[in-house]
Amino acid sequence: METGLIVAIALFIFVAITVAKGVRIVPQGQEWIVERLGKYLKTLKPGLNIVIPYLDKVAYELVTKDIILDVQEQEVITRDNAVILTNAIAFIKVTDPVKAVYGVTDFSEAIRNLIMTTLRSIVGEMELDEALSSRDKIKARLRESIADEAVDWGLTVKSVEIQDIKPSESMQKAMEMQAAAERERKAVVTRSEGAKQSAILEAEARLESAKRDANAQVMLAEASAEAIRRIGAAIGDKTGPMTYMLAEKYIMALERMGDKDNSKLVVLPADLQEAVKGLLGRQA
């Protein structure tokens, strides 16, 4: 009796386990891969599914919702040998579960490494300034480059976003030094340009002053010549008036010399009296 009860209990347990193994409830947003004796058999869709216990096995459980892959930060060398740091994030979706599990060992790691290598290749073709300012361009090229490989693995790349792209710490210091040097260069150029303009203006001022001085001297010379001509025309052959004018100017010059504050001694010619007598005598 006890033996029969034990057998019944064991049979009940076996049937329960068999039913449990044969009935599979797949949650929404997942697809399960079933293998029979180690070979792919079918894909279970969300809902209630029946498999043959002990022969069929659920080998893989795949999420068919969008998967977020974080691509770690890495150093990338640009075409002008600048080192920048960049990382990305990808949104992918499993569209063919069979290819996703049998086409590659780990599709998440495969996509992550593909993005890293492709990103290095794209940025390596750019100059530093272009790489820092072309985030959208890099994103578009990156998505286009990995799309074909993703299809072979049963995946669809929904989007690839560049999270950050910046110069490395050493590169930032170099750029700061370069910017400081550029500012200093511009300041030197500005000062030099100012000095140049100042020198040009001074030279033009001196040239204009020299021209004006020359014109003034020419005008004075012409005025003196005209005065002499008129005086000569007025006097004619008479020497008395001319001598008188010269004596008058001579005496006025002596007076100006005597009126100066710093004049301590005035030298008079020894024949001054004779000269004046001669002038007066000739006038008489």
Name the average pLDDT for the chain: 81
Q: CATH number of the domain that 73 lies in? A: 3.30.479.30
CB count within 10 Å of CB 235 equals 13
**What span, in angstroms and rounded, lies between the C-alpha atoms of 33 and 39?**
10
**What span, in angstroms and rounded, lies between the C-alpha atoms of 140 and 132?**
15
**What span, in angstroms and rounded, lies between the C-alpha atoms of 199 and 178?**
31
Q: What is the 3-state secondary structure (H, E, C) of 103-155?
A: CCCCHHHHHHHHHHHHHHHHHHCCCHHHHHHCHHHHHHHHHHHHHHHHHHCCE
| Nearest-5° Cα angle at 67, 65 to 73 | 170
Which of 137, 167, 197 corresponds to the end of one domain?
A: 167
Instruction: Note down the domain range covering 244.
Output: 239-284
Asked if residue 95 and residue 41 are part of one domain, the reply reads: no
| Per-residue pLDDT reduced to its tens digit, 258-272 | 666 655 555 555 555
Q: How many domains does the structure of the chain reveal?
A: 4
pTM over 0.85: no
Asked if residue 79 and residue 123 are part of one domain, the reply reads: yes
Asked if residue 84 and residue 161 are part of one domain, the reply reads: yes
Which of 127, 152, 167 corresponds to the end of one domain?
A: 167
| Per-residue pLDDT reduced to its tens digit, 134-187 | 888 888 888 888 888 888 899 998 888 888 888 877 766 766 677 777 777 887
Residue with the larger pLDDT of the pair 101 and 220: 101
Asked if residue 58 and residue 141 are part of one domain, the reply reads: no
Which of 167, 189, 213 corresponds to the end of one domain?
A: 167
| Per-residue pLDDT reduced to its tens digit, 36-88 | 988 999 999 999 998 888 888 899 999 999 999 998 888 888 888 888 888 89
Asked if residue 105 and residue 91 are part of one domain, the reply reads: yes
State the residue for tokens 């029979």.
36
